[in-house]
Amino acid sequence: MRSEPARLRFEIGARDGAARTGVLQTRHGPVKTPAFIPLATKGTVRGLESHEVAALGYEMVLGNTYHLFVSPGPERIAKAGGLHGFMGWERALITDSGGFQVFSLAHGGVANEVKGSGRQGGDQGSVVSIEEEGVHFRSYRDGAELFISPEVSMQVQAALGSDIALVFDECTPFHADRDYTARSTGRTHRWLERCLEWHEREGPVRQAIFGIVQGGIYEDLRRESAEAVSSAAVDGLAIGGTLGRDKAEMREVLSMTAPLLPEAAPKHLAGIALGLDVFDCAVPTRLARHGVALVPDPDNRFRLDLRKSGHTGDRDPIAADCPCPACQNHDRDYLSYLSRAEELTAVRLLCIHNLTYLQELMVHARAAIEAERFNAYSRAVLSGESPWTA
């Protein structure tokens, strides 16, 4: 870990057990943590303008290096003033390394394992070869052969001009054996050094770098990786890779990995809705596309499927007292109809609802940590109370 306030400053605030609040001070303003980070995968949060995402209270979004590399390409975005200028987003921006998407092509199941079983649609290209130097793959758009390596990833992220870049790593699938995982983790560490070398030499001076801890489900490999990444000149840490075959195994991997990381470091969890300081997740926007709203209903995995029957004539909002326009202006009857009719208005309204719901969850979690009642808050939410009343 290095400490370069010019790149990124992380101020830890209140603590309550293992939980904590904090503020990431970026070039583009503060990000209060714990924070959920909406995906602006292809340069837009689904259906929303950037100023609307800011109005929901979000202080950071995640841009997808793989997608933006394939189209419209880093040169075009750089000319537009980086991803901030291109999409008109004035707050903090984090970019992933592209590794997750590239390796999900190779390992097939990774994306589905980590991100749920949703359709991966546009992501389906093909990997030609994985080498020490980098990965050759085909564009899902036009079949053109593309190459991504630690250097290319950092170069693209430099062009995107994100406040926080992630290093290029291999995301190993949970079914990889110990031997494969060990070799892959070793390569990820060598790639980390190449990322940092390129960035030191040619990267934007004020762009912060997060290293990624791999090691699969093997405690010794996780420990080895935590030590390697923590001792590198990174500004923060992300826990990467497939964390296990189910939620129990995921919790096990997380709880063995988190204590291995330096206390002071800001920590990011990629791909999964279970947070350290910062986490991103495709779920709220992907669910919206499929007509599913997040609701305080543990019996149904906190989901309300508006495309299922049974909502006809239902005059209740999606979630009582939710401050979003979907809940303030409309009932389940109408939203269910709109969603089944596959109207854009429904996707947008559900997106706004789901992002509001997660933002409320975070705002009230931070308040609960500050009031040293995070356990009670967490229990209440898990047992079905609304974030805004728990």
Tell me the catalytic residues.
96, 280
Closer to a copy of itself by Cβ: residue 219 or 314: 314
Closer to a copy of itself by Cβ: residue 41 or 207: 41
Closer to a copy of itself by Cβ: residue 80 or 130: 80
Within 10 angstroms of residue 290's Cβ, the number of other Cβ atoms is 14
Backbone φ and ψ of 66, nearest 5°? -60, -55
Nearest distance from C-beta of residue 37 to a copy of itself, angstroms:
18
Instruction: Give Cα 90 to chain centroid, integer Å.
Output: 19
DSSP strand pairing (19-26 vs 9-16): antiparallel
- At residue 199's C-alpha, the angle toward residues 197 and 205, to 5°, is 135
CA-to-CA distance for 104 and 292, rounded, in angstroms? 25
Nearest distance from C-beta of residue 120 to a copy of itself, angstroms:
16
Q: Return the structure tokens found at 353.
A: 């609802």
Q: Are 52 and 91 in contact (CB under 8 A)?
A: no
Short-list 119, 73, 80, CA closest to 98:
73
Closer to a copy of itself by Cβ: residue 74 or 150: 74
Nearest distance from C-beta of residue 196 to a copy of itself, angstroms:
31
Nearest distance from C-beta of residue 49 to a copy of itself, angstroms:
6
Phi-psi region of 337 (alpha: psi -120 to 50; beta: other; left: phi over 0): alpha
Scanning 116-172, the segments in alpha helix (DSSP H) are 150-160
Nearest distance from C-beta of residue 51 to a copy of itself, angstroms:
7
Instruction: Give Cα 99 to chain centroid, integer Å.
Output: 13
Closer to a copy of itself by Cβ: residue 79 or 183: 79
Closer to a copy of itself by Cβ: residue 117 or 312: 312
What residues make contact with a copy of itself under the rule CB under 8 A? 42-51, 71-72, 76, 79-80, 86-88, 312-313, 325, 329-331, 333-334, 337-338, 340-341, 343-349
Nearest distance from C-beta of residue 156 to a copy of itself, angstroms:
16
Q: Are 316 and 306 in contact (CB under 8 A)?
A: no
Nearest distance from C-beta of residue 74 to a copy of itself, angstroms:
13
What is the DSSP-derived secondary structure letter of residue 77? Answer: H
Q: Return the structure tokens found at 20.
A: 């904590």
Q: Are 214 and 174 in contact (CB under 8 A)?
A: no
Within 10 angstroms of residue 390's Cβ, the number of other Cβ atoms is 21
- At residue 360's C-alpha, the angle toward residues 354 and 366, to 5°, is 140
Closer to a copy of itself by Cβ: residue 62 or 361: 62
